[in-house]
Structure 1
Amino acid sequence: MAPHAERPSMQDVVLDEDDAGTPAPAPDLRATGAALVGWGRGHVLRALAATTVLVALVLTVLVGLPRWSLAHERRVLTAPTELPGAIRPLEGPPAVAWTTRGPWSPRAVLAGDTVVVYASDVEDGAAAGLDLVTGAVRWRATLPGGPLGTLRRCLAVDPAPAEAAAVVCLTEPDRSAVRTEPVAGPVVVLDAVDGRVLDQRDARGTVAGAVVVGRDLVLPLADESGVVVERADARTGAPVWRTQVLDPPVTVPPQRVVLREADGALLVATGGTSLVLAEATGRAVQVVDRGNRPRDHVGLLHDGSVLVGAYGTAGSALMIRTTVYEPDGRERFTTRGTLSEPRVSDRPEERLYAWSSLPGSPFGGRVRAVSRLTGEEQWQSPGPSAGVLLELDGVAVLHGAGFEVGVDVDDGEQLWRRQVTLTSSDQPFTDGSHVIVARVEPGRGTVLEALGVRDGRTAWEVLLTPGVTRVEQLGTHLVGIGPRLVVALR
């Protein structure tokens, strides 16, 4: 008979009849701490290294993160917008990014990521460079004074690849002054980052205006030697070219000299003779003599095309007709009215806008859209308007008689109409989606209001800082300005 296999011994098992968890023993903190201390004593170098790494990591986060955030914001704020002439997109009412106290009559110019605030009054030489992002003062300087009847103006100069941005400050005629002292004013060039004086010189005549072309400064000079236009390196004053516009003994007060710049062309108007100069060489491309027709006018489009308007009669009605010339002087077309183009447009190559307020004309007070290439009329505004402001998203925004009107850009059909009064800026601003208007309300202050381009409805409205009397555009940003006050809006 086979032997029986050995049976396993029986074991007592505790049953958990109420399904209650067995509590785990509490950790012995003293033992754990003692173990760590013991490990640290035995591994001093490892403990110090771990502590150093942990502290370095914390410092990197605390110091590096704000720096990275600031650098990122700086890149965003200094990047160009997709729509030339527009400000950065605003999803809601802008807030005050920073505020600074300035001179009594402040002006501002943006050079790189520095906002240069200076006094327009030549008797006040105060100037300061502020960080665009934070508003921190980078430098302060005192600018030299200027001749009687002039105002100070500063312009940003494009830098070379290895250079910082620069600002050139000079004096130009106060157009409202009774007279301007016919002396050469100072030209000062400052490094926009640290405020160092890069160059200081006297202009080679009485400055009648100024424009910056790349790294060069173009000045019309009007005095006893006639009228001369010169282009020179803004930083050093080294001449590029010099063109005589009027020969002596013919002289013109500096207040009557006007300088305009467009794509590759310069317009110099002296009250009698107007010249269009090639920007690169200073060569006269077109000469318009208005000596016997002082009311005729000459203008310049953004693409360098020249506008010449001449008054005449049609039957018993007074009429103005404008001729458009190519930049090289060839005539393109002639149409009735005064021609203009929108300050900001997403379709700038398609049309121009004509307008006339002369009595007796059946089209007086209405805007006409005409082809930029042929002058053929495309449509007329549904009501009285004085010109075009913006052209965005298929809508042309017209203005006049205290109203802004949105019309379909293809057929002129009215889409919306809004009353806008007491504006504190010459033209509204846009971020590509809104028409942004600054207006002054008595007893309340300056208000910034955004209207939808497509429907004209108020998207948002904000009351600006007390003391702000006007709003200006610096690059792609808005700033509020008042006596001794500059406010960055973002």
Structure 2
Amino acid sequence: MRGGEGDTVPVDLVEVDSPDALRPPLHAVAPGDDPSGDPGSPGGSGGDPTPEARAHRRRRRVLLAVGAGVVLALAVTGGVLTALDERRAEARWDALAERGMPLVDLSAPLEEVWRLPGGGWPMATTSEVMVLQTWDQVGGVNVWRAVDTATGEVAWERTEPGDGWCSQWNPQWSDLTSEEAMVAFAFAAAGGGVPDASMLICSSGPGFGGELPAAGEQSTLTVLDVRSGAELASVDLPGALVTFDPVEEDLVAATVTPEGAIQLTRRPLAGGPPVWSTTTEVMAVDDDGYYAGAWPSLYDGTVLLLAPGGGLVEAIDMDTGEPTTAEVELPTASGGWQVLPDGTRVDMSYGDILQEDGVSYVVGDPSVTVTGPDGTERFEAPGGLWSPWYTDGSLPDRILVGSTGDNGTGGSLSALDVVTGDELWTVPMRWSTALVQVDGVAVAGSGYAAGVDLRTGEELWQHRATLSGAVSPVTDGSRVVLPTTDGAVTSLVAREIRSGAETWRVPTLSNIQLLNVVGDGVLVGNDTELVYYR
């Protein structure tokens, strides 16, 4: 053992044949004897020992003291390590929570809380209810159900004809950063301090499907209270609905007119007359009936009408509805982005966007652009951004980019210095997706799950997992839950992020299409059922 600087303890090493050699001699302690068993002590029973005997006893006492100290140190250290592990686990939890990660306690096996037939897809979640949408193919209607997260009881239900869609919203979200907005729209109830959704905005047709609407035809948007299902407003829009976006207390919607033009309208969510409405000269459809008009995009206080190829057709002031002559910065054709803890931003973009039969495609190899916190571009590098859905901010000195080989096979994964762009390591690309990054380790997969050390690119562990459907990260910062199918049995399996060791498993639904953290539990679903675990 080593003491503080300059502290030394002379210790004689003694060779012994057995541990018993370090024990004091066994003898009865007579009255007046020293109970230490040292016959050379005053009043002892052994008289004056030889110098060799005295040295042996000194060595014996030193070794016994050292042994006791080691035992005591191990006992104390064991407690310290346990407390240290707990503090590290709390730090991992806090780091992910601060960056908006929805977390759930995985220290013990999850238990089923409720089960609901009918399946469904979450359209909105709050800390109290989740709103699910199912499509009744026979009746040709949408069914929206709000389910109490704690009990699984249906709080309200609404049926609407057509194949519309819903978007959750809270007017306070207008002030969110892009990172916070990602949390809000990822159904992370109260994640990262983001307020719950307060309303649901649902379209009920007619949506634009290629045919121009009849004269006088209107689309309807219904605004519902998320918790009660009460109708807050019904907003009518001229023509066939293309898309809509909520903005503060209003919404901006694009519709196709009977003449084939694009009409933009800004209306209050609470109903009432429009704030403004304008008809553009952009034609909506081509000769084959495919949508060829400009898609509206809300960007920095402006409604941008972007052509399918990404070029600007027209820019409309968000407040007035008038064309703006101010210089407009066009957003890039982004394939993803990442913001590092110091404010450094990484954006991935593609070379071109092409359109064929009404469908837009990104073409060309992707590249990443790294911009420092001061807005200065540092470098551009070929490759696609390889970033976990959620990260604790560990290893902020590097970014990860992936490239594909010829014919989409092969390829590599590289770590680049975030300041200089220098390559830190490169390994063959074996993982198509990454779920979560904690302490420099990413849980990734491609038909299986693996732990990847992002310091070196080394694969630390690999296990079979079912990573299909809408499987989102389920973690507490120390463990991650992965659905795994063995034979005919599918289970939720919790594994340590760093070692991959299994800590528990529970049977669950087969053919999982949905795995998501909702509130303080986990929602699992397939075509026919939903199960909530906590």
C-alpha change, 1:418 and 1:186, in structure 2 (3 Å) is same
Corresponding residue for 2:351?
A: 310
| SS class of match (2:350) | strand
Residues 145-177 of structure 1, C-alpha deviation per residue, up to 9 Å, x if partnerless? 23xxx45334243579x9992222226999xx9
Q: Which amino acid aligns with 1:136?
A: E
What is the match of residue 128 of structure 1? Answer: 145
Question: What are the within-5 Å matches in structure 2 for residues 22-33 of structure 1?
Answer: none
1:272 aligns with 2:298: no
Q: State the Cα deviation string for residues 205-252 of structure 1 (Å, max 9, x = none).
A: 5444556666665656567666677776544488788899x9513658
Shift of 1:274: 5.7
Paired with 1:265 and 1:457, the residues of 2 have a C-alpha distance of 51
Aligned match of 2:515 in 459, 468, 471? Answer: 471
Q: Hey, what does 2:532 align to over in structure 1?
A: 488
Contact 1:101-1:486 at 8 Å conserved across structures: yes
**Deviation at residue 301 of structure 1 after TM alignment:** 1.9
- The residue type paired with residue 116 of structure 2 is T
Supply the distance in 1 between the matched residues of 2:337 and 2:515 (Cα, whole angstroms). 25
SS at match of 1:301: strand
Q: Determine the C-alpha separation between the residues in 2 that align with 1:437 and 1:266.
A: 41
From 384, 396, 399, give the equivalent of 1:352. Answer: 399
Offset of 1:351 from its aligned partner? 4.1
1:93 aligns with 2:93: no
Structure 1 residue 186, shift from structure 2 partner:
2.6
CA distance in 2, matches of 1:391, 1:235: 42
Distance 1:243 1:476, change over 3 A: farther
**SS of residue paired to 2:385:** strand
| 8 Å Cα contact 1:153-1:170 kept in structure 2 | yes
1:378 to 421, 424, 436: 424
8 Å contact from structure 2 (residues 262, 293) kept in 1: no
- Is 1:299 paired with 2:349? no
Q: Which moved more, 1:259-268 or 1:122-131?
A: 259-268
Query: What letter corresponds to residue 299 of structure 1 in structure 2?
Result: G
Q: What aligned pairs does 1:68-87 form with structure 2 within 5 A after superposition?
A: 81-87=97-103
1:453 maps to 497
Amino acid at match of 1:435: V
User: Is the counterpart of residue 114 in structure 1 residue 122 in structure 2?
Assistant: no
Separation (CA, whole Å) in 1 of partners of 2:488 and 2:292: 36
Distance in 1 (CA, whole Å) between partners of 2:509 and 2:274 is 45
C-alpha distance in 2 between matches for 1:256 and 1:456: 50
What residue number does 1:415 align with? 460
Q: Distance in 1 between matches of 2:230 and 2:262?
A: 32
Q: Provide the secondary structure at the position in 2 that maps to 1:320.
A: coil
* Cα distance in 2 for residues equivalent to 1:439 and 1:265: 46
Distance 2:317 2:107 in 1: 39
- 2:225 maps to 1:191: yes
Partner of 1:406: 451
Q: Secondary structure of the equivalent of 2:104?
A: coil
Alpha-carbon displacement from aligned partner over 1:367-416 (angstroms, at most 9, x marks no partner): 1223455544332236533343321122123333x333322233333322
Q: 2:196 aligned with 1:145, yes or no?
A: no
> Can you list the C-alpha shifts for 1:169-217, whole angstroms capped at 9, x where unaligned?
226999xx9x555556431111122211001123455444556666665
**Which residue does the alignment assign to 1:166?**
199
User: How many Å apart are 1:99 and its aligned residue?
Assistant: 2.1
Kindly provide the amino acid, as one letter, of the partner of residue 134 in structure 1.
T
Cα contact 1:220–1:229 (8 A) shared by 2: yes
CA distance in 2 between counterparts of 1:377 and 1:237 reads 57
What amino acid does structure 2 have at the position aligned with 1:479?
Answer: L
Distance in structure 2 (CA, Å) of the matches to 1:392 and 1:172? 44
CA distance in 1, matches of 2:250, 2:172: 10
Q: Does the 8 A contact of 2:155 with 2:228 survive in 1?
A: yes
> CA, structure 1 residues 128+285, in 2 after alignment: closer, same or farther (shift >3 Å)?
same
Contact 1:337 1:355 in 2 (8 A): yes
- The offset of 1:272, in angstroms, is 0.7
The 2-side partners of 1:215 and 1:154 are apart by: 14
Mark the CA change 1:467 to 1:392 in structure 2 (over 3 Å): closer, same or farther: closer
Distance 1:425 1:467, change over 3 A: closer
Secondary structure of the structure 1 residue equivalent to 2:470: coil
Question: Counterparts of 2:270 and 2:298 in 1: how far apart (Å)?
Answer: 20
Offset at 1:137? 2.8
Please say if residues 274 and 288 of structure 1, whose CA atoms lie closer than 8 Å, have aligned partners that are also in contact: no
Change (3 A) 1:319 1:157: closer
TM-score between the two structures when normalised by the length of structure 2: 0.57
Q: In the superposition, relative to structure 1, how do residues 163 and 346 fare at CA in structure 2: closer, same or farther (>3 Å)?
A: closer
Letter in 2 for 1:94: L
Deviation at 1:452, TM superposition (A): 1.4
- Distance (Å, rounded) in 2 between the aligned partners of 1:259 and 1:350: 37
Partner of 1:4: none
Code of the aligned partner of 1:272:
G
Q: Distance in 2 between matches of 1:247 and 1:306?
A: 33
Structure 2 equivalent of residue 286 of structure 1 = 329
One-letter amino acid of the counterpart of residue 345, structure 1: T
Residues 322 and 229 (structure 1), Cα distance of their counterparts in 2 relative to 1, 3 Å cut: farther
Distance 1:457 1:213, change over 3 A: farther
Superposition deviation, residue 347 in structure 1 = 0.6
Seen in structure 2, the aligned counterparts of structure 1 residues 485 and 458 have a Cα distance that, compared at 3 Å, is: same
| Counterpart among 434, 442, 462 of residue 388 in structure 1 | 434
Partner Cα separation in structure 2 for residue 378 and residue 339 of structure 1: 16
Q: How many residues align?
A: 386
Equivalent position of 2:92 in the other structure? none
Deviation by residue 1:17-68 (Cα, 9 ceiling, x = unmatched): xxxxxxxxxxxxxxxxxxxxxxxxxxxxxxxxxxxxxxxxxxxxxxxxxxxx
Gaps in structure 1 of 5+ consecutive residues: 1-79, 290-296, 312-317
Q: Take 1:241 and 1:350, find their aligned partners in 2: how far apart are those partners?
A: 47
Give the counterpart letter for 1:287 in structure 2: L
CA-atom RMSD in angstroms:
4.9
Partners of 2:481 and 2:196 lie apart in 1 by: 35
CA separation of 1:268 and 1:225: change in aligned 2, threshold 3 A: same
Q: Answer whether contact 1:107 1:119 (CA < 8 A) is retained.
A: no
Residue 457 of structure 1 deviates from its aligned partner by: 1.9
1:120–1:432 Cα change, 3 Å: farther
Q: In structure 1, what residue type is equivalent to 2:310?
A: T
